[in-house]
Amino acid sequence: MQHHSYFIFMTNKTKFYCLAFIFCFVTTTVFAQVPRLTKKEQRQGWQLLFDGTSSKGWQKSNGQPFPQKGWVINDGVLSTDTTAGKGRGGDIVTEELFTNFELTLEFKIVPGSNSGIKYFLLPKSSLGCEFQILDDERHPDAKLGINGNRKQGGLYDLIAPDANKHDMPVGEWNRARIIVKGNHVEHWLNGKKTVEYERGSEAFKKLVAGSKYKNIKGFSEPTQSPILLQDHGDMVLFRNIKIRKL
């Protein structure tokens, strides 16, 4: 009888520890999927642009509400939905406008993907400077433009990324970083600077004049702008989107 009671006690105790472990595992997993700022990031002024669970703070680039189709949110990831027959959601932008900032995010592409992160947008449009996101090996756009200025990490159709840039393999997460201080702009990809330019300089104006933007009045000139994530019709995933004002 004593042995039987001991067996029951140990079984219940084991169940308790098992349940406790499962609870901790599930809780940790859920928390891991939701982006969070560290105390250091909070002190430095960082803010989340995507809370990992909702479209709060985002809308379509034309000012309409966040699209009901074409974008999905799952496990802390914001991605385009390329399911056949659903249609595209279109480009999305932050509701908040930014002037001087440091933006970081992670993105992942699939074979043949094309997308981008845009800033200095003309009002209620998708026209602006673009951090190119692209499968350089498979997408034909990588071979267009001038001297590689449409490759990933570059300033789309204007400045080619550094030749020694580091792209993660397709299907793995990349880290993008954009820094804007006045007219000085930098692109970073996976910890390496890929582009640096002075907006409004004669050299920059010359680049615009030789690009697809040459006839767009006021291109790159806005001093305040939302941040745009592009829906180019291909699958692309974003997470850990954060920004701080400089």
pLDDT at position 88 is 85
- Cα separation, 110 vs 113, in Å, equals 6
Q: What is the dihedral angle through the alpha carbons of 141, 144, 146, 149, rounded to the nearest 10 degrees?
A: 10
Which amino acid type is present at position 39?
Answer: K
Q: Which residue do the tokens 């982006």 mark?
A: 35
Model confidence pLDDT, tens digit, residues 8-31 = 444 554 444 434 443 443 343 344
The confidence band for 7, taking pLDDT boundaries of 50, 70 and 90, is very low
Report pTM.
0.86
Q: In the CATH scheme, what architecture does the domain 37-245 have?
A: Sandwich (2.60)
pLDDT at position 126 is 95
Mean pLDDT of all residues in 109-136: 96
b/e burial code for range 66-80 (CB count within 10 A of at least 16 → b):
bbeebbebeebbbbb
Which tokens is 120 given? 């200095």
| Mean pLDDT of the residues in the chain | 89
